[in-house]
Chains A and B, each alone.
Chain A
Amino acid sequence: MRDMYNSKRPVFLERPNRMQPTVRPDKDKNESMKQPEPEIRLATAYIPNQPYVGLVPLQEGFHRGSMFPNLYQPYRDWRRH
């Protein structure tokens, strides 16, 4: 269980031996079928690894709702409202 968090690749909870791409960009004639990461299967939800880059100041994090600078993706800057 613990090891699955160490992988740099996306975590596959089911059938880790079946990571063959379902889309093969080099063989697909349609350009729009090309995928940037062909090892990622379609119709599967992924949570990429979150690297630890330290914390924002306590006050800032409390206001934002996250202590992690790389998780902060507001629609708008709250300081302007």
Chain B
Amino acid sequence: MYDKKLMREIQQLGFAALDLNLYLDTHPDCKKAISDYNVIQRQYENKRRMYELNVGPLVNFGMSPSKYPWEWLDGPWPWENE
């Protein structure tokens, strides 16, 4: 079953990891930023794993195996939301 709250948490963690990625590209020696990045990256990975386990694949290929029938087609799609 689609989990809106978990999806939003994944989006927030992904954004935070990306923003730290951009900072670290120009400040590669900042230990505090690296340690924050590592904390966020671990949470991001855990939440993504939780989502894929309980809901379904987050991306169309390459990240998780599929049950039968092909799981990627399971909704809701953006136009089916709410």
Q: How far, in whole Å, are A75 and B47 apart by their CA atoms in the complex?
A: 34
> Is B28 within 8 A of A61, CB to CB?
no
Which chain B residues have a beta carbon within 8 Å of chain A's beta carbons? 9, 11-13, 15-16, 19-20, 23, 26-30, 32-33, 36
- A67 on interface, CB distance cutoff 8 Å: yes
Q: Which residues of A contact B27 (CB under 8 A)?
A: 5, 50, 52
> Is A5 within 8 A of B26, CB to CB?
yes
How many residues on the A side are at the interface (Cβ–Cβ under 8 A)?
14
Q: Which residues of A contact B9 (CB under 8 A)?
A: 58
Q: How far, in whole Å, are A29 and B2 apart by their CA atoms in the complex?
A: 71
8 Å CB contact of B12 from A6, A50, A54, A62: A62
Q: How far is the CB of B82 from chain A (nearest CB, A)?
A: 20
